[in-house]
Amino acid sequence: MSIPRRKFDTLVIGAGGAGLRAALQLSQDEAMVAVVSKVFPTRSHTVAAQGGINASLANVTDDNWHWHMFDTVKGSDYLGDQNAIEYMCRAAPRIVYELEHIGVPFSRLDNGKIYQRAFGGQSQNFGGDQAARTCAAADRTGHAILHALYQQNIAARTHFFDEYFSVDLISDDDGYILGALVVDIASGEPLIIEAKTTLLATGGAAQIFRTSTNAHINTGDGMGMALRAGIPLQDMEFFQFHPTGIAGKGMLITEAARGEGGYLVNGNGERFMPNYAPNAKDLASRDVVSRAIAVEIREGRGCGPDKDHVLLKVDHLGADVVHKRLPGICDMTRAFLNIDPAEQAIPVFPTAHYTMGGIPTNRFGQVVVPVSSGPEDEVPGLYAAGECACVSIHGANRLGGNSLLDILVFGRASANHITGYLSEHRHHRELSESSVDKAMQRLLRWDTKGEGESVAGLRNDLKRVMEEHCGVFRTEDVLAEGLDKVIALEKRLPDVRLTDHSRQFNTARIEALELENLMDVAIATVCSALSRQESRGAHSRIDYPERNDVNWLKHSLFYKKDRQLDYKPVHVKPMTVDTFTPKERVY
């Protein structure tokens, strides 16, 4: 069977903020860019980001990039790479001004400058007073940014493959990544996109959990592709649980609700965060707030008849502030809870939200793996940016407002490096037919007919196991049992069969391919979590309650082959300033 081929200079997989930022710059640089996305670009999950993007513009409080850097390093529980964090925090103001110039409708201060609000983990002067660093377009900042980036890409005439699903990376025998096998969802037809560079910008994977704030599409497709290409995933034990998902449903209630002055109360009507974070209170880091909520509930101080959630109050702020600054949240609570937050408190619970781990990269977006000379050899032609990547900026815990920043800064950094790479690699290399065959096998496997269990059945089991065995608090026993269960689930995967074998817009087939990715990501997560015998950031081990910098100030690397784990050192040396040495983390 001969598969059609298209050739581009560069392939971008994923059309969220990272992919579109990179594509825009590359198109403007006159590279031939193909953007492949399994959904129409503005349906990517960046659209759901609410609160804003961090940059030390100092429009509201005194601020500078070095304070932003300190907060990010501290927020990461010292697992973030300080060279990359310095790079990001320095780049932030320029990135935000650029967004403003391309049309993002930021909210404004009376003096006409960009509105900034307080967010969790932000301080002035290295741990002093609360800073207001998060640039916002009401509480629809992700929507505003994603649409503006897409609009500019239309102007730049970027070539889009909308509703194409990426099956696997293709390469040559020397290990160069040369594009991907994709499938047109509408027609079901496969297509090889050959490219000199490939950027994975496929987003996060919180769909491995039963309840999450993530879109249905966040199935870790790029992470799965990387694992199958022999590339490890880094720091997968660190999954962020957002403190304020709507209880029992999962929709995100932005941290901006607390940034604007909201706070949490328990079943006794008591504001409890001051007991856990005397200074920052409700604006402590997300890991701290999520654990506090979990403890309140565990100790019987939850709200509601089942004492299974806490309440987020913003009703004291006045209807004007709530409706003006948090209109999206008002829409959401009206639709899903039938309440107006200006009048009534919102029931919330910590909910799986963000994948701190991912495909290991350096600060240029190049995917790096330990091969020969050291822990970080570049994979030629392969880049990753955004939530699917692990630079690592966020370390063990991401600060609110740093993910929109991450996707744009490293989307741009990747584009910068790709431009250089393209000037040095002017010709397409010959791809290996065996890598195409392997990718096709993955696709064709789902044409097998006959009796078997369903994709949905196995997926539901997987999500339940992950929720029960890999949540906010973890122990050796629970994780080990979880790993056994997930491995047992993986063994069932070959027996899954589709009943839908139509070629046309076959969403069942896409969900099957997504399930394979979810399975790989889930196993990486549990294995990494079981091995890390300490508590750091979002990874909270009851049996190892302390952070252990002597043994565990290192990144974990999980390989699909034999479920092997490896480790590599943290870059503790920044680009120009002094290292922030690990300290006890109090808010």
Partner 1 sequence: MRFSIYRYDPDADTEPYMQDYVLEDCPADMMLLDALLLLKEQDETLGFRRSCGEGVCGSDAMNINGRNGLACVTPLSSLSAPVVLRPLPGRPVIRDLVVDMEQFYKQYRAVKPWLQNSEPEPEVERLQTPVERDQIDGLYECILCGCCSTACPSFWWNPERFLGPAALLQACRFLADSRDDATEERLQTLDDAYKLFRCHSIMNCVDVCPKGLNPTSAIGRIKQMMLKKTV
> Which parts of this chain interact with partner 1 (CB under 8 A)?
39-40, 42-45, 47-48, 57, 96-97, 100-103, 105-114, 137, 140, 143-144, 147-148, 151-152, 154-155, 186, 215-217, 251-252, 328, 331-332, 335-336, 454-457, 498-500, 502-508, 511
Beta bridge mates, 37: 162
d(CA 491, CA 527): 16
The least CB distance from residue 215 to partner 1, in Å, is: 4
Burial degree of 64 (CB within 10 A; 0-12, 13-18, 19+): middle
d(CA 377, CA 372): 7
Instruction: Give 373-388 as a DSSP string.
Output: SSS-EEEEEEEE-GGG
| Short-list 137, 126, 578, CA closest to 401 | 137
The C-alpha atoms of residue 436 and residue 477 are separated, in whole angstroms, by: 41
Cβ atoms within 10 A of the Cβ of 462, count? 25
Least spacing, CB of residue 203 vs partner 1, in Å = 11
Comparing CA positions, the residue from 203, 240, 236, 76 lying closest to residue 567 is 236
In the bound complex, what is the minimum distance in angstroms from residue 127's beta carbon to partner 1?
28
Are 411 and 20 a contacting pair, CB within 8 Å? Answer: yes
Residue placing its CB nearer to partner 1 in the complex, 138 or 236: 138
Residue 484 Cβ, how far from partner 1 at the closest point, in Å? 26
Sequential DSSP letters for 228-262: HTT--EESTT-EEEEEEEETTT--B--THHHHTT-
Residue type, 517: N
Inter-residue contact 472 to 291 (CB < 8 Å): yes
Q: How far, in Å, CA of 246 to CA of 84, rounded?
A: 33
The alpha-helical segments, DSSP class H, found in 299-401 are 319-325, 327-337
Q: Which of 228, 258, 286, 474 is catalytic?
A: 286
Identity of residue 96: V
Distance CA 74, CA 260 (A): 23
Residue whose tokens read 């880049």: 383
Q: How far apart (Å, rounded) are the C-alpha atoms in residues 276 and 306?
A: 23
Long-range contacts of 365-372 (CB under 8 A, 24+ apart): 365/22, 365/199, 365/389, 365/410, 365/411, 365/413, 365/414, 365/417, 365/418, 366/417, 367/200, 367/226, 367/231, 369/231, 369/232, 369/557, 370/557, 370/566, 370/568
DSSP secondary structure letters along 416-472: HHHHHHHHH--SPPPPPHHHHHHHHHHHHGGG--SS-B-HHHHHHHHHHHHHHHSSS
The CB-of-154 to partner 1 minimum distance in angstroms stands at: 5
445 among known catalytic residues: no
- Active-site positions? 286
